[in-house]
Amino acid sequence: MIFAGGIPLKNNGVVDGAVGVSGGSGEQDHAVAEAGAAAF
Burial tier of 37 (Cβ tally within 10 Å: 0-12, 13-18, 19+): middle
Q: pTM of the entire structure? A: 0.77
- H-helix or E-strand containing 12? none
How far is residue 16's CA from residue 22's CA, in Å, rounded to a whole number?
20
- Domain coordinates in residue numbering, the chain: 6-39
pLDDT in tens, 16-31: 999 999 999 999 999 9
How far is residue 39's CA from residue 4's CA, in Å, rounded to a whole number?
18
- What pLDDT score does 7 carry? 92
